[in-house]
Structure 1
Amino acid sequence: MCGAIVTSPFDVVKTRLQSSLFREGHTAVGVFSSGGGGGGAVLHAAPRHSGLLWNFVETGHILRDIYRDESPRALFKGLGPTLVGVIPARSINFFTYGNGKVVIANVFNEGRENSLVHLTAAAFAGIVTGTATNPIWVVKTRMQLSASRFVDNVPKVRQSGIGGSWLCIQKILREEGVKGFYKGLSASYLGVTEGTIQWVLYERLKKLTAENQNKGGLMEWFGMVGSAGTAKCVASLASYPHEVLRTRLRQPSVNGIVKYTGLWQTLKLVIAEEGVRSLYGGLSAHLMRVVPNAAVMFFIYEGILRW
């Protein structure tokens, strides 16, 4: 929960950069600069840049724009559903993985754990977690997109927190039915690869660290934190496009038109209209959010297990 609160602004930026609604509006509008006396906005062309370093600079610019143009509270849009979702999501994932690897090892591998056991348990945990918590993340995505000043055709959520979440839930239920809460689930299943890579790599790196350090020593704990951060970084880089596809599938309709209807259709349409690079939109903000978050989370997880 602490990690979700601290890194919430990066989550908002990531979601917007993944969304075609924000990308199209940002390109069309360019950069706003307030005119003297506050009478309207002056438009001028936004310089186009590329490169990994610029992606991190762009993240900073968007954080500044949200703070300036929408209010500081907009940096925490969708935090309510995130906090509601983070407890069951992490609980289900860690519980299913931790017990799953024990059961799989005992039943199929004579009680011995290896990378295949870890991989199978992680994949199962990802599927269970994604299915159980998908409605929460749909609400979060809708709230984060509703705040953007570039998305003119999407109804704005005037309330934040629990009130805004409830209004968003009612709107989805009224207009799309129960199935609206499961948009992007196919992309979430595709994203099981991220959790699988993360768990397998973490277990491997942790084992290597433990073999080279004193058991329970300070360096072993540093090694575990480094292992968690490294595993999350590699897993995110390897599977990131599923995040973009999932966000597109969860976008609200614009003027009654649903642009993205299926996983394969979304992939082809994104590549055709925007190129392969767009599948990595928001990656810098994503890494700035998830890598330190994973390091802290696994540190606390290991500490509680040992305690």
Structure 2
Amino acid sequence: MTENHARLSPALVETIAGLSAGTISTLAVHPLDVIKTRLQIQREAATLGNGFGILRSLIANERPIQSLYRGLTPNLVGNASSWALFFYFKSLAEKQLVLFHERRSNVLTSPGHLPTAQESRNVLSPADYFIASGIAGTVITLSTNPIWVLKTRMLSSDKGTEGAYESMWHGAKQVLKTEGVRGFYRGAGVSLLGNSHGAVQFAVYEPLKNLWRKYLARDQPLGQKEEKLGNTATLVISGSAKIVAGTVTYPYQVLRSRLQTYHSEERFGRGIRGVAAKIWREEGWKGFYRGLGTNVVRVLPATWVTFLVYENVRYYLPRWGS
């Protein structure tokens, strides 16, 4: 292995893998994100037919590609940076949790001992993965919420319509001018609640991945190099985890979209409680699941692309050039 690659820390590998995954998955499924966002801010019943209707209107536009990729810049910046930072902070939190468990069980053999990937899998529980993902998600939410405000507003409007932002930078100036710094943190409270989504997802994903690796390693001699998680296994495990997390925590996405869109207080109510009360009063429990069908269609391809890229980059990057 070259000197440069020898210096790649596990946290840096996680960061690069997350950045690559976030970039590629966003480029692949951004049009579905546009449709999902517009469905979430509708008050009438959102169906699969509504989704196709929005798709037809986007394609019928004079510039269909620009319409389908409206708001790509904040979405790309937000997703790429979020995944990179998420995996970085998640890795740091997991390492601290491993050390915490080892101290409690007096397993540490030396003061400078650092846990290996195998040790981490043996020590960490689903609850630990939930905590580590929750901590990472909180850091990301507080640092990237302004990007999501701009993204939501751009995705929910066509370029050129009255009040629509011309670009990410134009939107940032408008928010600062008309709403002040607080405008960039609309929906931050509900987004913090939404950290439960990532926490649930990884509390399912990591233990399932560990179980699969144990199954693969059952006939291997001790000390054998870590087996690569196969692409098929990655698709099944990541898809299962995403469906569970998405179904359990989807209502927060509807609340967040309505809190972050244009003129949110006049249209949907003030604050999390106000918006939630209005949805319940006018639309019932179904209102909290607007766009769920489209979201499932969207998140599965996005999840598959994200985790295929993440797992492959994470596996091959430390070995590249060795």
TM-score range (shorter-chain normalised) is 0.7 to 0.9
Please state whether the residue corresponding to 2:156 is helix, strand or coil. Answer: helix
Deviation, structure 1 residue 12: 0.6
Structure 1 residue aligned with 2:28: 6
Q: How far apart, in 2, do the equivalents of 1:80 and 1:218 lie?
A: 33
Deviations 1:108-158 (A, max 9, x none): 454621112111101111111111100001001111122189xx8x6133x
- 1:274 is aligned to 2:283: yes
Deviation at 1:218, TM superposition (A): 7.9
> CA 1:279 to 1:70, structure 2 compared with 1: closer, same or farther past 3 Å?
farther
Distance 1:146 1:168 in 2: 12
CA distance in 1, matches of 2:155, 2:183: 17
List aligned pairs for 1:117-156, cutoff 5 A: 117-147=128-158, 155-156=163-164
Q: Match for 1:299 among 308, 317, 320? A: 308
1: CA distance, partners of 2:274 / 2:154: 24
Correspondence 1:243 to 2:281? no
How big is the shift at 1:262? Answer: 0.9
1:226-265 pair list within 5 angstroms: 226-253=236-263, 257=266, 259-265=268-274
SS at match of 1:230: helix
Calculate the TM-score normalised by the size of structure 1.
Answer: 0.80
Percent pairwise identity: 30
Question: How far apart, in 1, do the equivalents of 2:315 and 2:59 lie?
Answer: 41
Query: In the alignment, which of 179, 199, 204 is matched to residue 201 of structure 1?
Result: 204
Quote the Cα distance in structure 1 between the aligned partners of 2:236 and 2:92. Answer: 24
Where in structure 1 do 4 or more consecutive aligned residues deviate above 6 Å?
A: 215-219
Distance 1:204 1:288 in 2: 25
Indicate conservation of the 8 Å contact 1:81/1:140, yes or no. Answer: yes
Q: CA deviation at 1:217?
A: 6.5
Corresponding position: 1:92 with 2:75: no
What is the number of residues matched between the two proteins?
268
> Which residues of structure 1 form unaligned runs of 5+?
28-47
* Aligned pair partner of 2:71 in 70, 74, 78: 78
Alpha-carbon distance in 1 for matches of 2:229, 2:284: 44
In structure 1, the partner of 2:52 is 60
| 1:44-102 deviation digits (Å, cap 9, x = unpaired) | xxxx8x8xxxx334322321122114631111111111111122211111111112111
Residue 291 of structure 1, CA deviation? 1.5
CA positional deviation for 1:105: 2.0
Q: Which amino acid aligns with 1:138?
A: V
The Cα shift of 1:297 comes to 1.6
2:295 match = 286
Q: Which amino acid aligns with 1:174?
A: K
Written as runs of structure 1 = structure 2, the 5 A alignment for 1:185-200 is 185-200=188-203
SS in 2 for 1:252: coil
**Structure 2: tracts of 5 or more residues without a match:** 1-22, 104-114, 116-122, 221-225, 317-322
RMSD, aligned CA: 2.4
Greater CA drift, 217-226 or 6-15 = 217-226
Q: Residue 96 of structure 2 aligns to which amino acid in structure 1? A: V
Counterpart-to-counterpart distance in 2, 1:174 and 1:76 = 26
Structure 1 distance, partners of 2:146, 2:235, is: 31
Partner of 1:34: none
Aligned match of 1:184? 187
Q: Residues 210, 56 of structure 1: CA spacing in aligned structure 2 closer, same or farther, 3 A cutoff?
A: farther
The alpha-carbon distance between structure 1 residues 99 and 272, as it changes in their structure 2 partners (threshold 3 A), is same
Cα offset for 1:303?
2.0
C-alpha distance in structure 2 between counterparts of 1:70 and 1:11, whole Å: 20
The secondary structure found in structure 1 opposite 2:270 is: coil
Single out whichever of 124-133 and 112-121 deviates more from structure 2: 112-121
Q: Is the 8 A contact 2:34 2:70 kept in 1?
A: yes
Deviation at 1:104, TM superposition (A): 1.6
